[in-house]
Chains A and B, each alone.
Chain A
């Protein structure tokens, strides 16, 4: 990011943001999964996954949205979570939310 435009010409928004319950749960998941007692992911892998987002998606995605995207990608890549079971689970939750699956 160092010196990169357009960010290097933008004002710094100094508003203090509180974390949402979502933010806290995602932060907790990352800490628990990367703790040496589990060692299921590393922050390096998370950064790599986040940097792979297309630039426009990167810009509109919230900080902890990026994190959970990375956690999901890494857990599937390591087969801790099966890709198919994740897809099915997401479809169930979508239906529960009242959206067309």
Chain B
């Protein structure tokens, strides 16, 4: 699946690190379960969750810059005209309903 710029996407609300397995996740906790939109496709990179444990067979994943309204990420904070971006791998993104 690939996402075009402007597509609304939701970050998987998944917490592998809470399952007691030693993992390295590059998806910040504060964007999980949140909806933003694709700014751009950055390119294809090895999945850091594999690279972090020294695996040479890390699958390549599309990496997107995703932009969020900051007010959605930290409700209750004064976030007028503030956005934030995170670079997220495709396996963490789902098309938003």
A48 CA / B30 CA spacing, docked (Å): 19
A51 CA / B74 CA spacing, docked (Å): 24
B5 to chain A, nearest CB (A): 24
How many of chain B's residues touch chain A, expressed as a range? Answer: 10 to 19
Contact B28 A48 (CB under 8 A): no
**A1 nearest in chain B by CB position:** B28
**B28, B51, B73: the one within 8 Å of A45 (CB):** B51
Query: Counting CB contacts under 8 A, is A35 at the interface?
Result: no
- The answer to whether A2 and B53 touch (CB under 8 A), given A44-B48, A51-B24, A52-B22, is no
- Which residues of B lie under 8 Å from residue A48 when comparing CB positions? 22, 24, 52-53
- The answer to whether A78 and B54 touch (CB under 8 A), given A44-B48, A48-B24, is yes
A75 to chain B, nearest CB (A): 11
- Which residues of B lie under 8 Å from residue A42 when comparing CB positions? 51-52, 54
Query: Counting CB contacts under 8 A, is B60 at the interface?
Result: no
Contact A44 B52 (CB under 8 A): yes
B14-49 contacts to A, CB under 8 A, are 22, 24, 28-30, 48
B46 to chain A, nearest CB (A): 8
A57 CA / B8 CA spacing, docked (Å): 40
B-contact bits for A57-73, CB 8 A (1 contact / 0 none): 00000000000000000
Would you give 10 A-B contacts (Cβ < 8 Å), ordered by A? A2-B29, A2-B30, A42-B51, A44-B51, A45-B51, A48-B22, A48-B24, A48-B53, A51-B24, A52-B22
Other CB < 8 Å A-B pairs besides A48-B22, A48-B53, A52-B22, 11 of them?
A2-B29, A3-B30, A3-B73, A3-B74, A42-B51, A44-B24, A44-B52, A45-B53, A45-B54, A74-B54, A77-B54
